[in-house]
Structure 1
Amino acid sequence: MIKLKKLALLLLIFSLFFLSLTPLTAWAEPDTDATEEELEDELPFDVDAKSALLMEATTGEILYEKDADAKYPPASITKIMTLLIALEAIEEGKTDWNDTVEVSENAWRMKGSEMFLEIGQEVTVDQLLQGISVVSANDACVALAEHLYGSEEMFVQIMNQKAQQLGMKNSHFENTTGLPHENHYMSARDIAILSAYTINNYPKILELESQREFTFNDIVQYNRNPLLGRFPGADGLKTGWTTEAGYCLAGTAKQNNFRLISVILNSPNLSSRLSSTEAVLNYGFRNYIFKVMVDKGEVVGEAPVPDGKDKEVAASTQNSLGAVITLPDEDRLETQVIYDKLSAPIEKGDRVGEMHILLENEILSRVTLVAEQDIEKTNFAVIALRQVGGFFKNMTTGLVDMIKGIFE
């Protein structure tokens, strides 16, 4: 009997011991300190549109998306591509801002948004680009297309070629205006890709698109972009509407050296298009920052050139290097330089490697490193001596390490 009592007491002691190790979660207070991952899972939200996307303009990082690869009628958002082709033509010398264009009957007959061109009227390329940008003028699109490539059809071929070059996999154009056609479509992702490329390479588009009004033939018209003058830092980009497309808006804004591009497609009305655009832009600006780690042209190291007269070449960044991050990650970023296997001769500006921004060994962004000076090829004898010297250096280092290992 005494043994049974001792056994029962022993079991009770062990039970109390194990209970002390088990957390009493049934009575614990709720955990108010949610992890960063849990909070971020709650942040993405739905918008009142069939398709939407938020992109950082420099890196192309996607911060929010909804059905972003689906094909939708883009309406006048099409005109971002029209403007890009025109800006490229100016850069290439095919035309000039001050060149005059004679308005054809074909352009004059265009319906929808217009700048009210007259048949036979002479208008400058600059005026046409302002008309397309500010009042979404369909007549100006056709006049410009005919001026640059002889016909709208030829101009559209260039638009589709450019879309392929930019990797716009879910876009096809049938006209320069965005007027409805069953084979004319774009995706939200493609629109963001196009917008980022145009802004980064032809920032003049923002000057055009941020104009609040446009006067032509004594007719004053106003920019339909609801972000201008309302959303902090907004300076573009393009609105659109047709019955088929619904209400669309490709918007962009810059705050604290951080540019975002938003795309809203097929929203049911004007107010929801605006509120959805503001929602995604606010989400981006409130939850992310753009951290610049290295400025453009900064020398970050010396790349080895085994057969060069100089054994190394200074390596600098081709562009600035930055990454989109949440604020808690700012102090956890690291950089990494990786040099290419180089051989002389090397000319100034040649690629010599890459520099990466890392967060927990994940590459967030990268930039090309280029040579800061020319490097000529040295003769065979010098290369041979360097190789022999390198061999003995490696052998000596290995021997020293081995001796250290013996005595440690």
Structure 2
Amino acid sequence: MEQASINTNRRHQMEARRAARRKKKKRQTIFLCLLLLIIILLMILMVFKMLDSNNIHEIDQIKTVKEAAYTEVPPENIVKEEEPPVPSSAPIPVSVIPGESIHSASGYLVRLRDQAVVMNKAGTEKIYPAPLTKIMTIIVAIENLSNLDENVMISDEIINTLYTQGAAMTGFVGGENLTVRDLLYGSMISSGAESCVGLAQRVSGSEDEFVNQMNQKADGLGMNNTHFVSCTGLPGDDNYSTCKDMAVLFEYCLRNDVFREIFTSDTYTTSVTPPHPNGIVLKNSVLSELTENNLTNGGVIEGGKESFTNSSGQCLASLSKIGEDEYILVTAKSDGNPKSEQYHISDAVSAYNLIN
């Protein structure tokens, strides 16, 4: 009995110890869980704190940038961007040629690509364009006569009147049928007055009406100091222009392919007609004289139209190509004459040679 009681007490003690261990383990588990929860909460708080700190920094940066955008930067602190390279099509400066380099009293030299003035010697002073007038005659005829093979008859009246006036002639005779092309080349290469009047009458019915068209064209091109009274350029006080105005006209004409072809031709043979069964061979003598004088800078003279009267002196409109650029030169009022030194030729060669 006593032994049983002892065994019972031992069992109770053991259960009590086991229960105490379970309680202790449970308390330890609860403590560890609480500790882990605290650690997790602390970590979450630290993460939020870091995020808030970063947001504040970003806001400060944005605010600084905005403030900088509205803050004037001192000029010395501005970083200048590199200027872009100049495109090849931009105007290239030209060296201005002094007017003293030519004999003629007036001269105007222009680069065609951008109308840069290379020389201006009394370019706006009044001149008498004489047969340079025929440049306007030719372009007005080209723009009004589309069929260059159309026939035009030169009358006896035209021939007789012009011979009486002492005008330069192509060599056609009264009653001869020529093409418009023949008359255009005759007007340019041989400076034939009968060719000019034949074109004028074909375009407008009369020379007077044609001259009105010439003056209208001059007004349209801004040739404000120019007035024509004839299509041939025969002397007359009211037939006047300037080298600058004639250069404006010349530049305009060279845009026309038909005009350019005629202007740069050295020879042309007119149509076969009964009076001229082999045609008339026209030779551009002024172009021959110009090309005989080689340019020392490697350029070439492509075309030329000369004129002379006692009131105009020697005049010349010429075209050259130097390097990749074309140039036009109009000179007037040189002291020479057809039997003297050809100053208008030497002037063109001298001026073109001075272009680099």
TM-score range, shorter chain: 0.5 to 0.7
User: Are 2:270 and 1:199 aligned?
Assistant: no
Partner SS, residue 80 of structure 1: helix
User: Are 2:333 and 1:282 aligned?
Assistant: no
2:14 is aligned to: none
Contact 2:225 2:241 in 1 (8 A): yes
CA drift at 1:40? 6.0
Match among 223, 227, 246 for residue 284 of structure 2: 223
1:15 is aligned to: none
CA drift at 1:229? 5.2
The amino acid that maps onto 2:240 is Y
1:208 is aligned to: 262
User: Are 2:160 and 1:106 aligned?
Assistant: no
Between Structure 1 and Structure 2, how many residues are aligned?
241
Output aligned runs, 1:17-56, within 5 Å: 44-46=98-100, 47-56=102-111
The amino acid that maps onto 1:222 is K
2:142 is aligned to: 87
Partner SS, residue 247 of structure 1: strand
Contact 2:99 2:121 in 1 (8 A): no
Deviations 1:147-184 (A, max 9, x none): 11101111100000000000001111000111101100
Contact 1:227 1:251 in 2 (8 A): no
Contact 2:227 2:241 in 1 (8 A): yes
Partner SS, residue 62 of structure 1: strand
1:138 is aligned to: 193
Partner SS, residue 107 of structure 1: helix
Partner SS, residue 265 of structure 1: strand
2:342 is aligned to: 271
TM-score, length of structure 2 as denominator length: 0.64
Partner SS, residue 140 of structure 1: helix
Measured in 1, the distance between the counterparts of 2:252 and 2:200 equals 21
Partner SS, residue 208 of structure 1: helix
Contact 1:248 1:265 in 2 (8 A): yes
Larger helix percent: 2
Measured in 2, the distance between the counterparts of 1:280 and 1:266 equals 16
Contact 1:77 1:178 in 2 (8 A): yes
1:157 is aligned to: 212
Measured in 2, the distance between the counterparts of 1:179 and 1:73 equals 10
Contact 2:95 2:118 in 1 (8 A): no
Measured in 2, the distance between the counterparts of 1:243 and 1:221 equals 25
CA drift at 1:224? 2.9
User: Are 2:293 and 1:239 aligned?
Assistant: no
Measured in 2, the distance between the counterparts of 1:209 and 1:228 equals 14
Deviations 1:301-342 (A, max 9, x none): xxxxxxxxxxxxxxxxxxxxxxxxxxxxxxxxxxxxxxxxxx
Contact 1:188 1:264 in 2 (8 A): yes
1:353 is aligned to: none
2:74 is aligned to: none
User: Are 2:115 and 1:60 aligned?
Assistant: yes
The amino acid that maps onto 2:156 is E
Match among 131, 141, 161 for residue 76 of structure 1: 131
Larger radius of gyration: 2
Measured in 2, the distance between the counterparts of 1:55 and 1:106 equals 41
1:3 is aligned to: none
TM-score, length of structure 1 as denominator length: 0.56
Measured in 2, the distance between the counterparts of 1:228 and 1:185 equals 29
Partner SS, residue 290 of structure 2: coil
CA drift at 1:101? 0.4
Match among 163, 166, 175 for residue 120 of structure 1: 175
CA drift at 1:107? 2.3
Deviations 1:173-210 (A, max 9, x none): 0001111011001100001100101102x032222122
Query: Relative contact order (alpha carbons < 8 A, sep ≥ 6): 1 or 2 greater?
Result: 2
User: Are 2:314 and 1:251 aligned?
Assistant: no
Measured in 1, the distance between the counterparts of 2:158 and 2:227 equals 22
Partner SS, residue 354 of structure 2: helix
Contact 1:264 1:273 in 2 (8 A): yes
Measured in 2, the distance between the counterparts of 1:168 and 1:236 equals 23
CA drift at 1:253? 0.9
Measured in 2, the distance between the counterparts of 1:166 and 1:281 equals 26
CA distance 1:236–1:158, shift in 2 (3 Å): same
The amino acid that maps onto 2:349 is E
CA drift at 1:221? 3.9
The amino acid that maps onto 1:140 is S
Contact 2:159 2:174 in 1 (8 A): yes
CA distance 1:113–1:228, shift in 2 (3 Å): farther
CA drift at 1:256? 2.7
CA drift at 1:211? 2.2
Gaps of 5+ in 2: 1-93, 271-275
Partner SS, residue 227 of structure 1: helix
Deviations 1:208-231 (A, max 9, x none): 122223444354442132324544
* Structure 1 vs Structure 2 CA RMSD: 1.9
The amino acid that maps onto 1:144 is L
